[in-house]
Structure 1
């Protein structure tokens, strides 16, 4: 079976995972395997979320801004860069 080495884990995150492992009666390694398995099986994780909800949010934003005009931000960016 493959092995994975993960370096530079934030100690606070590791501590939280250790607490979860104790609560679930698992070793740290078993808890990490469980978390990875859940993430791999979660479809929303693979797609970045629910596409239907994302489309609805885009449609709401388009409706909110329909008919409005916005200034060109290029001039503001140029001014900001010169500071």
Structure 2
């Protein structure tokens, strides 16, 4: 499994994380892994919600967009 190394944290931050881990009956490593996994999920969910919002706005705008297939092919052939 991949590993991360975080350098130069404030002592207060480390102590706070240790206390949080203890309160949740987890090791510091397990607590940090959970925090990072949750943060990554939130970012992913936020991205997809934003993407859906843009698609809805475009659909409501009633604008028509030309097919870009030919432009992409021309660009690829350069």
TM-score, length basis structure 1: 0.51
Q: Distance in 1 between matches of 2:26 and 2:17?
A: 11
Q: 1:4 to 1:44 in 2, by over 3 A?
A: closer
Match of 1:40 in 2: 40
Unaligned runs of 5+ in 1: 53-83
1:40-74: CA deviation from partner (whole Å, max 9, x where unpaired):
01148965xx8x9xxxxxxxxxxxxxxxxxxxxxx
TM-score, length basis structure 2: 0.54
1:17-43: CA deviation from partner (whole Å, max 9, x where unpaired):
000000000000000001001100114
| Deviation for aligned residue 1:2 | 0.7
Instruction: Give the number of the structure with larger relative contact order, counting CA–CA contacts within 8 Å between residues 6 or more apart.
Output: 2
- Superposed counterparts of 1:1-83, under 5 Å: 1-43=1-43
Q: Which runs of 4+ in 1 moved over 2 A?
A: 43-47
Describe the SS at the equivalent of 1:42.
Answer: helix
